[in-house]
Structure 1
Amino acid sequence: MIGQLSRHWWVLLARGVFAVLFGVLALFWPGITVWALTVLFGAYALVDGVFALVGAFAGVEGESRGWLAVAGVCGILLGLMTFAWPAATALVLLLLIASWAVIVGVLEIVAAVRLRRLVDDAWLLAVAGVVSVLFGLVLFIWPASGAIAVAWLIGLFAIVMGAALIGAAFRLRKLGGHPRTHRVGGQLS
């Protein structure tokens, strides 16, 4: 198996190089990253809507055809609206993330208050909740900065992942170029 993987080490190298390039672009051109994510969401909604509509007309077993048709039409409309107004879609997605962060943060704070007598380190949950609420509020106040921060996180992840893939590619290349030999009873096997 190592032999087969080591022969194709260059595939990992190519993936790693492209991931690093994408990461650098995301860090230095975050607007394109947000735009690309929005377009991918729009494409997903559109394709999902088409398949739901096809399923409704094909009469998928166990599904309500009427509701499936409504879901299909909504998905198609959402996909088309995303392509028509990508900036508005990106803003709405960001506001949903902000809402989620605030709600989760408040729930974590409430849980920490309730658990403070049962758990010694419940204050850590409260701190996590406060950080989550603050993150959500920052996204509400400065949504453009939040979008850039998300793009930067994606960029950093892509660079780290790409570097790991590049390292693995060179390790596989090295393993393939120098097959291991084992001595059994003083003789090479």
Structure 2
Amino acid sequence: MLELLARRWQLVVLRGVVAVLFGVLAIAWPEITVLALALLFGAYTLLDGVAALVMGIGRGTDRGYMVALGVLGVLAGVIALVWPQITVIALLVIIAVWAIFAGVTQIAAAVRLRKVIRNEWFLALSGVVVLVLGLLLIVQPAEGAIALITAIAAFALAWGIVLIVLGMRLRALGKASATAGPLV
């Protein structure tokens, strides 16, 4: 899995940049409607899911995490784009389920890689950020659309920054391994 992530570090950074852009747009338009939020979330999760699928396709034995995360992201994105009129509660459930699964997946990947890479806590931290968002959305679903937008924007910014830092670390690891040989 480490070799896969190091080879595709650009996709990790791309996922981070898309998350940061999503967060900035959500903060810039706080009066955004639920319909626009559904479309924005749909576009974001669709792009994130495709990026995760691309990362999961290829050689390696630990692709299942990324493929599962990608499939769930694409599914959540398509649902939000096809049915943008869904209620806030339904959107919250979709976002929460996706966030909980994504968080657990990333934490599990960090645990599996803890003896293989240094600073695996970046991957674990990104998982914790996503997991916390999912749990908060399940526990307090009726806080309102503006609170939802703020929480999702804060999550997207934090997660995006963590993914960008992780991607840069993976890039450095990939360059180091190119001179030293295979990562695993």
When normalised by structure 2's length, the TM-score is 0.40
Bigger Rg, which one: 1
TM-score by length of 1: 0.39
